[in-house]
Structure 1
């Protein structure tokens, strides 16, 4: 993700600062050149670096803009150059990409093509959590009676967060939170048993080590399905899908099937996220670390964004409640 986030953030910062095109171009080039990462970040025991990648991206974007403003030049052209990103990290030196851009003055609506995460888990897991929640609430079977569960899904889901990754860590109760976040067998098992997903409790070591969860978890596999892969890559928003079909075989031989295309919170989902859902999610995540008055102050500003004064924009930040930062371990490094 850093290879997308950092150039985007650098371009955004440059635009907000009203920098000239040449400076922004140099900032974007440096931002991308210094942050291209490999798929290894999603393999095996997933690291805390992966968990902090968005913050790292923001840091690198700020530094890239700062250096470009000071006159530092960067490897260019970074995307289409002979030894650039396209040649070595994408489809090769002969590849060609068409990137649609808004015309001058045209509203920039690309953010509307992004998808909300209701649950604190990998995006490809969102729809599966919702399907597991639905099955739990229907209570048509006892998870303890399951013989096997197969999630028929896209190539990406199968090979990145599914059993197709061939990562034993995805089935390890002692795996890191970051690894469990990228294990759809674990996520589906917990959501099926609990009827939901919690950003803290669902990842606790004690939760992952629960014997009945481990037993169910190890009965869940994924399988690539050509049709779900096709829909995953579809450019038609009405057809594009991130879910799949579940096949549950019970010990008595009964086979149950169900499917889901998109998460409930998706614009085409069963319960598209609205303003109140975003506010509720912010409160859920903020309450442990922010004072009530700080939560209200920030929400008031954020919900009046178009009318804020320059001084109020500078207040769009948050201050942790007393003792929170001191409670976080800070191992000694170089600085």
Structure 2
């Protein structure tokens, strides 16, 4: 077992609920609530509906539940379907590290499916989620895989396989093989995030958690993975260069789930501050007389949300919610940024397109220097008379320096789940999530309240 794998296996086996601390457990509950809210808010998305139909053809024992229904499928397919639902609406959490950014909550569908399948209790689920976040975020800080052309879901498959391996009770040797079986076949390409974005943007993380569960299941049954998956002759480090994990004590003392940001708006994280600034300006000018809209932000935001031609002429919902011009024009024109603003039939909204034509996006070097500690943007709108109004956001709501309160997290859950479930089922599901560590039966205590058919 190479040294990096050994450290990861030690982390997984060392993590125990009773040592996590109150803050870590509470933050885990907040991420679970936020993530399932995102999934239920996208329950009727065409891709969610299609993937649920696909999952209906897969059956196995033990099974796992599909959120919002009474249906069960294989753990791998449950993780995939629920993972699509939680990501397709583009409103799940974010971690920004030295190696880029991504969505660690992608892993949660895998952890819940595995916990459901093996009959784990809520405390074991919390352990698994905390492990996953530690691995995902620490890898993001240790190595810039995006520079090498690899997608953020590589972090997802590695974090998930360790959390799922913990739930499955893998031995140290089995966990070692599970890590290798997760990495070797799942080095996904970052092209997923470029050009006109496709359905795969919402499926990539879900596919990673599906494959992580399969890797853990293989290892549990004695399948061996490639040796020295990190530091071997053609292991991961041969591509990325050498990197190091923190010592185990550092993992114990700084749990990364406390360091991720939660989104208030269903758009790419690099557009959050600009969208919030634009919303503040919505009523401050006659939009029919707007001459110029200037968005100034940090370089990564310019590159990732305005650096591709497709982001200036988005033809898919996935491209629109990753487009600074479209998001800012939507906020200014409509005074709201909600999931239905990015439906396919809204991409040609005449008012939004009119304002998009007036948008400029440039880098502000001072804001770039604040990145990644800040994710700042400034929006300045000039009218025909020459009058200007401007708004700047340094830390968008939900950022670790401007966190959403528990009440705001709960309100997001109610807003996204409540319209489908009714108040009673919504309250029961929310209560179950705040008390998840008290559950000894996740199917009864969590999945049943989430079932839309239980209303």
Bigger shift: residues 96-105 or 182-191:
96-105
Question: Is the counterpart of residue 159 in structure 1 residue 303 in structure 2?
Answer: yes
Distance across 2 between alignment mates of 1:34 and 1:193: 45
Aligned twin of 1:298: 429
Q: How do 1:124-203 and structure 2 match up within 5 A?
A: 124-136=270-282, 139-162=283-306, 164-165=307-308, 167=309, 169-172=310-313, 175-199=315-339, 201-203=340-342
Aligned twin of 1:281: 412
Distance across 1 between alignment mates of 2:406 and 2:234: 45
Cα offset, 1:101, TM superposition: 4.5
Give the secondary-structure state (helix, strand or coil) at the position aligned to 2:170. Answer: coil
Q: How do 1:80-119 and structure 2 match up within 5 A?
A: 80-88=231-239, 90=240, 95-103=241-249, 106=252, 109-119=255-265
Q: Which of the residues 225, 248, 251 maps onto 2:384?
A: 251
Are the aligned partners of 2:237 and 2:243 in contact in 1 as well (CA < 8 Å)?
A: no
Cα offset, 1:248, TM superposition: 2.9
List per-residue Cα deviations over 1:52-73 (Å, max 9, x = no partner).
Answer: 2232222111111001111222
CA RMSD of aligned residues (A): 2.6
Question: Is the counterpart of residue 43 in structure 1 residue 184 in structure 2?
Answer: no
List per-residue Cα deviations over 1:2-46 (Å, max 9, x = no partner).
Answer: 111111011111123332222222212222222222221111221
The 3 A distance-change label for structure 1 pair 145 and 81 is farther
Question: Size of the alignment, in residue pairs?
Answer: 303
Q: Which of the residues 333, 339, 350 maps onto 1:211?
A: 350
Distance across 2 between alignment mates of 1:231 and 1:16: 39
Aligned twin of 1:265: 398
Cα offset, 1:255, TM superposition: 4.1
Give the secondary-structure state (helix, strand or coil) at the position aligned to 1:147. Answer: strand
Are the aligned partners of 1:32 and 1:78 in contact in 2 as well (CA < 8 Å)?
A: yes
Distance across 1 between alignment mates of 2:441 and 2:345: 46
Distance across 2 between alignment mates of 1:241 and 1:143: 29
The 3 A distance-change label for structure 1 pair 38 and 289 is same
Distance across 1 between alignment mates of 2:195 and 2:416: 28
Distance across 2 between alignment mates of 1:107 and 1:247: 42
The 3 A distance-change label for structure 1 pair 291 and 6 is farther
Cα offset, 1:310, TM superposition: 1.8
The 3 A distance-change label for structure 1 pair 66 and 181 is same
The 3 A distance-change label for structure 1 pair 130 and 76 is farther
List per-residue Cα deviations over 1:193-245 (Å, max 9, x = no partner).
Answer: 2222112x211344331212101012213222333223213xxxxxx111222
Gaps of 5+ in 2: 1-151
Higher relative helix content: 2
The 3 A distance-change label for structure 1 pair 27 and 124 is same
Distance across 2 between alignment mates of 1:170 and 1:16: 41
Distance across 2 between alignment mates of 1:15 and 1:107: 20
Distance across 1 between alignment mates of 2:265 and 2:390: 23
Bigger shift: residues 255-264 or 211-220:
255-264
Cα offset, 1:292, TM superposition: 4.1
The 3 A distance-change label for structure 1 pair 216 and 79 is farther
Aligned twin of 2:168: 17
Distance across 1 between alignment mates of 2:173 and 2:422: 43
Are the aligned partners of 1:144 and 1:216 in contact in 2 as well (CA < 8 Å)?
A: no
Distance across 2 between alignment mates of 1:246 and 1:43: 24
Q: Which of the residues 349, 353, 360 maps onto 1:221?
A: 360
Are the aligned partners of 2:270 and 2:375 in contact in 1 as well (CA < 8 Å)?
A: yes
List per-residue Cα deviations over 1:261-293 (Å, max 9, x = no partner).
Answer: 111222323xx3111111111122213443544
Give the secondary-structure state (helix, strand or coil) at the position aligned to 2:165. Answer: helix
Distance across 2 between alignment mates of 1:322 and 1:302: 19
